[in-house]
Amino acid sequence: MLGYGCYLIQSTQLFRVFRAFRGQQNNQREYIMAHSDDHNTRTFSSLVVDGMERAPSRAMLHAVGFSNDDFKKPQIGIASTWSMVTPCNMHINKLADQAAVGVNQANGKAVIFNTITISDGISMGTEGMKYSLVSREVIADSIETVVGCQGFDGIVAIGGCDKNMPGCMIAISRLNRPAIFVYGGTILSGCHNNKKLDVVSVFEAVGARANNKIDDAELAAIEAKAIPGAGSCGGMYTANTMASAIEALGMSLPNSSAQAAISEDKQKDCERAGAAVLELLKKDIKPSDIMTKAAFENAITVVIALGGSTNAVLHILAMANAANVDIKLDDFTRIGKHVPMLADLKPSGQYSMAELVEIGGIQPLMKMLLDKGLLHGDCLTVTGKTLAENLADVALYPAEQDIIHDMEHPIKKDSHLVVLYGNLAAGGAVAKITGKEGLTFTGTAKVFDAEELALKSILNGDIVKGDVIVIRYEGPKGGPGMREMLSPTSAIMGKGLGKEVALITDGRFSGGTHGFVVGHITPEAFVGGALAIVQNGDTITIDAENNELKLHINEHEMARRFELWQQPAPRYTRGVLAKYAKLVNSASLGAVTDNLD
């Protein structure tokens, strides 16, 4: 279905990378290669620590634990996203230590450094959530800054929350030094009254409490039991989606995406990753050799089969941009026509990531897809082997499991990620349609210029059957920051309106969102997209069969409204949010900030 061989693409991609890879960094690498005595393993660190004139640098490194022998070893930066602001990352300092053990035992010198993380789950529904997508860029910039400054020869990046992962991968692509990404691992399920819980259970319980389906004591019990410890949110939400995508891309060791955060397997994964980077250095295998167009197509295929988060669209576009690979919004449609949704995982399904781990993770799924010709098996991976070689000896799922459906009995015969166009989304929009909600929805617009206003209306009972909730001015520039709408969508579910109303927005959705929802609408309202002129009472149709998002007004009325529309003043004029709003591009291009041409 995908057409052409991976190695041909790799050759083309390498040529393009060495001709056009981010001019400044390309020039830096060429300079370093020309002046280095050891091109294979110490290309960058040798310029920092070799020779009489580098004595001051060595003096400072002695103080942080370097021995004389360490200066002769390749230096591997361990990018740790450890933080106590969220359970997703609270354990990653220990995983970074294990990765360092792997590096040092393989005769490298590990240097651990930190970058930031924020918590989507904690900030959800507040003004603070506007910093979430921004953090992806800050993480990428900070890792690039440290590695570029310190002269590390390779990288192990460990991420445990939604924006850590694409942030790490963007930096890895920009730097193009031997690198491996390690997922921090999934959380285990909470439990209340013999029912498994996760963070989305709490969001939906809020809606249930507002609808008097549960009382305060029940809400408090669910709140207290939903998050039992360290690890990323437990369904096929954004963190587990992106971990799976990166493994399918070839940039993580096999099974890195499918291990519990607190487990011996995850510790071993980190140790193996540390050692594996040294092998990549010896073989001179760089991210640009692995992250080809075919490899990104593999990542998209696996995301679809797993029923993954809409955020994967945004992040894969951004990662591909950083890798100089031509992936567009329409590639999700092209691939999605042939790939079925097979995983019965939360939020729309029954099972958690921890339960998928128990039956073998995503490797057997990938083998199923490969056997059906839906993956490029000849793509190189961080093991130094091809994807097909990695999967050759993988055992199939046990016969009695029903988490992953077989190809003949899919949950949905094609992709749940549906790219819509129309007079409301000239630049495209992304819907998450599993089929359980139906494939079309026509309803009456109720318009809100901020997420908080919509949530208040939902909880107050103002939203009724047949409404299309419109939340605008929440896009990359308008928000700024493109907040996730988990609070409104969870409240809708908690109110029992999941199949009765729809929600559309130029913001985005948490991986925990389900229901009839459309996000990433472009052009966004703030830059004069048609979402800005929708009025209460307008009729809107979401059509996932014909891939259309339509506002039912005539062209004359649309033109009249555009004539009257005025762009709102920016919500932020100083600081990181203002800088982000000025630099960020469209969600249909990945909402990246480094396309400065």
**Catalytic positions, written as ranges:** 510
Beta bridge partners of 190: 197
* Residue of 222, 219, 261 lying closest to 352 (CA atoms): 261
In terms of DSSP bridges, do strands 75-80 and 539-543 run parallel, antiparallel, or are they unpaired? unpaired
Q: Are 360 and 395 in contact (CB under 8 A)?
A: yes
Q: Provide the 10 A C-beta neighbour count for residue 116.
A: 16
Secondary structure, 3-state, 298-363: HHHHHHHHHCCCCHHHHHHHHHHHHCCCCCCHHHHHHHHCCCCECECECCCCCECHHHHHHCCCCH
Q: How far is CA 329 from CA 316, 417, 531, in A?
A: 10, 11, 19
Q: What is the largest CA-CA distance in the chain?
A: 76
- Written as one letter, the residue type at 134 is V
Beta bridge partners of 419: 430
Q: Are 426 and 404 in contact (CB under 8 A)?
A: no
Q: Rounded to the nearest 5°, which phi and psi values hold at 551?
A: -100, 125
* Residue of 457, 466, 467 lying closest to 488 (CA atoms): 457
Q: What is the DSSP string of 108-155?
A: -EEEEEE-----HHHHTTSGGGGHHHHHHHHHHHHHHHHHHHHT-SEE
Judged by DSSP in three states, 486 sits in helix
What angle do helix axes 451-459 and 486-494 make, rounded to 10 degrees? 10
* Residue of 348, 327, 351 lying closest to 510 (CA atoms): 348
